[in-house]
Amino acid sequence: MSYFSCDLVNDVFKKETPFYAYLNGLPFETTFLKSASYLLHYREFTNIRDLILAKSRFILEDDTGIPYRNFPPAVWDVRLYGAYIKPVSDFSGVEQLDLKKAYDDPARVKPLPFHLGYHWSTNKDSILYVVKK
């Protein structure tokens, strides 16, 4: 496991930068995204989002990571755990109605026996376990 503290906005994290080349050269297997502040929902962070989608075989995240719409069923198998509720008041414009609809189908959702992320005090946490087909 590695931890990096850096700016991943597209203007800084460009494909021709050494850090991008370094990450692109790693053999991604699993990516874990937790409390990611919905940054990967914005167009200013497409370089890192696209790299994660291209390189990862498995992604484990809460709803603040890569948007649900970026996991087309032809490419990804998405397994849902917990419950989806709209983002905490600190974040606006990032509610995922498509993800909410997926969570509304009880046949698709499994229980989540622990708390993780911004909704820790509500007992309503969502985890997506995403597997590349």
Q: What is the pLDDT of residues 24-45, one digit of tens each?
A: 998 888 999 998 999 999 999 9
Q: Which of 132, 63, 60 is nearest to 100 (CA)?
A: 63
**Which stretches does DSSP call E strand in 50-125?**
58-61, 76-82, 109-110
* Alpha helices per DSSP H over the chain: 18-25, 46-55, 97-103
- pLDDT per position as a tens digit, 61-101: 999 999 999 999 999 999 999 999 988 888 989 999 999 99
Strands 126-132 and 109-110: unpaired
Among 72, 70, 9, 71, CA closest to 44: 9
Q: What's the pLDDT score for residue 27?
A: 85
**Residue 98 structure tokens:** 């498509």
pLDDT given at position 4: 82
Q: What is the pLDDT of residue 124?
A: 85
54-67 as b/e: b if 16+ CB within 10 A:
ebbeebbbbbbbbb
